[in-house]
């Protein structure tokens, strides 16, 4: 098991990684930087979501044939993610739902916005394989995480752990091009998988590095 953390822009770092070298991609790209956009998109959110366009083909190149990609994404701009990944060569399989029973929510076109999707894709060339254990397709967040790392989009560790178990072969290599505070990395390491994490923000790269440095010795 190896842990490879890279501080830098996702696109630049991905170009350095070898083709067909990772078993799964699990990531939470930027899409909801502020809570201000509704029928229009403010500039920082537009820059955030547009960053996925050049990154998706690199994720595709680096993934092995048959590799699965699990990507958290906002329901409000779902067409962008589907179009971006399709153009890069990924095949869409289905969506899981992350339902926030606990935490903040905003009113959006007549409904409270309390859910995001986890989109599942695969790279053609080999039959994709899921590994279990199985659960229903709705993840429920009903309480705060035991440890907060100060990231506004920190995902529940138990949900990420279950996703890693399902889309990654035992001992496989997990890539997260938008590592944030390192939740996917902690889940991967705890399950005995190798992990490649990329983060451009200096603060959160430091947070993730310290967090994963504490986890690695316990499972190595």
Higher pLDDT, 25 or 136: 25
156 neighbors 214 (Cβ within 8 angstroms)? no
In the beta sheet, which residues pair with residue 95?
119
Q: Quickly state the pLDDT bin for 116 (edges 50, 70, 90).
A: confident
pLDDT score for 177 = 96
pLDDT score for 16 = 96
pLDDT score for 94 = 96
- Tens of pLDDT, residue by residue over 18-76, are 999 999 999 998 765 454 444 455 555 555 567 889 999 999 999 999 999 999 988 77
Of 176, 187, 91, whose CA–CA distance to 139 is shortest? Answer: 187
Q: Quickly state the pLDDT bin for 115 (edges 50, 70, 90).
A: confident
Q: In this structure, are strands 63-73 and 22-27 parallel, antiparallel, or unpaired?
A: parallel
Mean predicted lDDT score pLDDT of the chain? 85
pLDDT score for 102 = 64
Residues 115-143 have a mean pLDDT of 90
CA dihedral 96, 211, 35, 41 (to 10 degrees): -80
Q: Which domains does the chain have, with CATH numbers?
A: 3-219 (3.40.50.150)
CA distances from 23 to 47, 102, 105, 122, 188 (A): 29, 32, 34, 11, 12
- Tens of pLDDT, residue by residue over 170-215, are 999 999 999 999 999 999 999 999 999 999 999 999 999 999 987 6
């Amino acid at each position: 098991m190896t842990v490879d953390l890279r501080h830098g822009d996702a696109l630049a770092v991905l170009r350095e990684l070898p083709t067909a070298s990772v078993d799964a991609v699990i990531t939470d790209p930027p899409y909801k930087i502020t809570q201000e956009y509704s029928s229009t998109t403010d500039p920082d959110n537009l820059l955030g979501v547009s960053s996925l366009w050049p990154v998706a083909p690199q994720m595709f190149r680096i993934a092995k044939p048959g590799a699965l990609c699990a990507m958290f994404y906002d329901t409000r701009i779902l067409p962008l993610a589907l179009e971006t990944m399709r153009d890069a060569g990924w095949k869409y399989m289905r969506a899981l739902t992350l339902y926030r029973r606990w935490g903040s929510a905003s009113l959006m076109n007549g409904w409270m916005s309390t859910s995001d999707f986890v989109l599942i894709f695969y790279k053609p060339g080999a039959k994709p394989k899921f590994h279990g254990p199985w659960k229903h397709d709705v993840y429920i967040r009903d309480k705060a995480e035991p440890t907060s790392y100060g990231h506004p989009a920190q995902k529940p560790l138990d949900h990420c752990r279950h996703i890693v178990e399902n889309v990654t072969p035992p001992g496989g290599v997990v890539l997260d091009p938008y590592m944030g505070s390192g939740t996917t990395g902690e889940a991967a390491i705890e399950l005995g998988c190798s992990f490649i994490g990329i983060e451009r923000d200096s603060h959160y790269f430091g947070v993730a590095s310290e967090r994963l440095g504490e986890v690695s010795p316990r499972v190595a």
